[in-house]
Amino acid sequence: MGEEKTEVKEILRRIDELLRILKFLSEDLAEISKTLKTMAISLAIETQRAMPLEPAGAPSQVGRMQTDEDVRRMFPQDLAGMLYFEMTDDYVIIKPRQYLGSENFAKIATIVRDQLKGEYVSAGKESHFRVPRKP
């Protein structure tokens, strides 16, 4: 009986040791994940900044007012699917269809600001991006 008690104590000690090791690994992985996410956001922003305003070979739209479709084409398909585009006389209004999260919000804001010369309008539940229709 005493021998079994010793074995159980040894097993419990080893389990505790493994749990400590797993905790350290988990903390390290969380830190690495956070760093990689930050790097991915930075890379996405830099990539968006490097993209030309008009695709190569596209006809010039000088003087032509932008439509919601023109603006929609500036976004990658995955981001465009998260957004609702609406035209007014002076702006193309962009509203989220769903929660964007910080990464997607940053990517969208970069495209709106740097490529479309638009802005974010903070208005609570009515917050949106707006892009001037006149280039």
pLDDT by residue for the chain (135 residues), tens only, comes to 678 888 999 999 999 999 988 888 888 888 888 778 777 777 777 776 666 555 444 444 556 788 888 899 999 999 999 999 999 999 999 999 988 898 999 999 999 999 999 999 998 888 999 999 886
Q: Which of the four CATH numbers 3.90.1200, 1.10.4160, 1.10.8, 3.30.1360 does domain 68-132 have?
A: 3.30.1360
At 135 the pLDDT is 66
Host H or E run for residue 11? helix 2-50
pTM for the model stands at 0.53
Q: What are the residue ranges spanned by the domains of the chain?
A: 1-50, 68-132
Q: How far apart are CA 20 and CA 125, in angstroms?
A: 45
Instruction: Name the residue among 54, 56, 47, 57 with its Cα closest to residue 79.
Output: 47
pLDDT of 1 reads 65
Q: Could you give the strand order of the β-sheet that contains 91-96, starting from the edge strand earlier in sequence? A: 83-87, 91-96, 128-132, 119-121
